[in-house]
Structure 1
């Protein structure tokens, strides 16, 4: 049985068809496909400093550095260790010497071969067609990125390519598909809002961006450090998840104070950024600083009202790290991936987000308890155990799924005696069960706008008729 596919084989490509949309391609996959041979020589040449590093592909699909003998599963990790660099895209760094092309090109051959098998099949499953569609779209995005014309797309639209509405269970699959095509999003699609527009770009494009924006990263190629997801646990709530990075209202340091106060009044803002350029944050103007400036001068300017202690943080900073600053300062400005000041997060934003997360959480808690109570008044434990096929010892152990299974049983439902359509009730309960899974798994995205209303109305229905149970 193949451990990667759970023993699933298909006439449309067998094991390799699951490389698209399932996980990141590895060097071992290239060996097993016959696109790379054990013993193949690899070379990483850093033209800027005139230094080259050599390695060999082992039979287990690892990269053995020469002459040290250290072995790595990840091409990027191997390149990083060989060159003593902090971040390298190993797929674009290692040249397969006898083929005179990079590992990335061999990886693309594997993807092309895999999708060709799927396309040639006479009977394609929906999942195969979906993966083929994603493959073609990402291949097109790769061509645009290499032409230095990267596709720009909102995170929401990006997720729709995988038929996902939020960054839930499919995040790892999406990252794997992007990585297999040598793509990443700039800024990271994990660390921004759903409506933030990101670029589908390549690591080399990011290196050029870093060079033009004064990034302190040193190296030939810049990329996320882990190219195979070995340590890819990323469940953070970031500052960028609260700010769309769409720009901030600002004034220049030499602007009249009336311009600042007018903009604050028109937009109901408590503060404005003072910018001397996209990356030149001079501070902030707040109502407090305005009052202090006017107290000292009868005719004050923005320069007199600047609070120079305004904080600016990168969009991918953990929100929890910023909470102490927000508690003290009440706001922080946010930098995008180019270090331009493009957003702001306030204590009100944080309170709103936690309210979005907490409200359905508590509603679901009430629903869970109410459903268990209804079941306990309608069916005995033996009936529940039989329906659920589980050794449940008490009603407190019932999950929402258990309750759904019990209540959709025709005999149990008739005992309720509710003037409610069973099919419609169970259908809504299934929707709520899926909502519960999303909320309880603490996905970074807000629940849909109608979720709170659905939970409230379902709870109201339960309270209306539970006395009949």
Structure 2
């Protein structure tokens, strides 16, 4: 358990059916009563289980209470363990891209506010005058202007910055079309977005 960073280990019979679970708590309880030399003595026979087909949200309270659920199939054969940490990881996987993109756009807006509006490209001024939202594509149009880039005096290579912005723009455009399993497929774009944000955090 220490070596593999497991907090729970399902205990099964010779057919793989759930018979309980060993946890750090069950080991501690057994040791406090002078037992704990065998797996049987440290096994919690009341381990919470859930069927593979069950609706996740119907078991959230059990997951919160115990910190885990032993997942079993129709024959009560163990197929895995679902932990609160797994849920947190999935939540981070699906929410982080949105928070990264939101902060990137916030910092790009701050950078844009440094310019005198008269110096901005005509198309950008028209967008602002009509109270429309500046898109990532439009930000690229601004930052590719060599005179405006010089005004920023950022310690970055302009083309490298624009290349990163292109990737983030495509990523932002794809977000609206994600299905429930898509975010992890965009891991490279998420990392580029994270890198661009780190640069912006230094200057905007």
Q: TM-score interval w.r.t. the shorter chain?
A: 0.7 to 0.9
Quote the offset at 1:426 in angstroms: 1.5
- Counterpart residue number, 1:362: 99
CA pair 437-341 structure 1, distance change in 2 beyond 3 A:
farther
CA pair 278-409 structure 1, distance change in 2 beyond 3 A:
farther
- Counterpart residue number, 1:224: none
Higher Rg of the two aligned structures: 1
Q: Deviations over 1:147-178 (max 9, x none)?
A: xxxxxxxxxxxxxxxxxxxxxxxxxxxxxxxx
- 1:399 and 2:135 aligned: yes
- Give me the whole-angstrom Cα distance separating, in 1, the residues matched to 2:100 and 2:50: 34
Equivalent in 44, 60, 65 of residue 323 of structure 1: 60
Q: Aligned to 1:267, what secondary structure does the other structure show?
A: coil
- Counterpart residue number, 2:28: 291
CA pair 315-408 structure 1, distance change in 2 beyond 3 A:
farther
- 1:280 and 2:17 aligned: yes
Highest relative contact order (Cα 8 Å, sep 6+), 1 or 2?
2
- Counterpart residue number, 1:97: none
Q: Aligned to 1:269, what secondary structure does the other structure show?
A: coil
CA pair 389-319 structure 1, distance change in 2 beyond 3 A:
farther
Matches within 5 A, 1:136-155: none
- Counterpart residue number, 1:429: 165
- Counterpart residue number, 1:459: 197
- Give me the whole-angstrom Cα distance separating, in 1, the residues matched to 2:157 and 2:35: 72
- Give me the whole-angstrom Cα distance separating, in 1, the residues matched to 2:71 and 2:26: 21
Q: Deviations over 1:8-31 (max 9, x none)?
A: xxxxxxxxxxxxxxxxxxxxxxxx
- Give me the whole-angstrom Cα distance separating, in 2, the residues matched to 1:339 and 1:388: 65
Q: Deviations over 1:129-156 (max 9, x none)?
A: xxxxxxxxxxxxxxxxxxxxxxxxxxxx
- Counterpart residue number, 2:83: 346
Equivalent in 103, 114, 123 of residue 377 of structure 1: 114
Structure 2 gaps, min length 5: none
The 8 Å contact of residues 293 and 305 in structure 1, kept in 2 or not, is answered as: yes
- 1:448 and 2:184 aligned: no
The 8 Å contact of residues 385 and 392 in structure 1, kept in 2 or not, is answered as: no
User: Higher helix share goes to which structure?
Assistant: 2
The 8 Å contact of residues 379 and 412 in structure 1, kept in 2 or not, is answered as: no
Quote the offset at 1:450 in angstroms: 7.7
Q: Aligned to 2:114, what secondary structure does the other structure show?
A: helix
- Counterpart residue number, 1:269: 6
TM-score, length-scaled by structure 2: 0.72
- CA-based RMSD of the aligned residues comes to 3.7
CA pair 334-388 structure 1, distance change in 2 beyond 3 A:
farther
- Give me the whole-angstrom Cα distance separating, in 2, the residues matched to 1:365 and 1:442: 20
Quote the offset at 1:384 in angstroms: 5.7
Quote the offset at 1:286 in angstroms: 1.7
CA pair 317-431 structure 1, distance change in 2 beyond 3 A:
farther
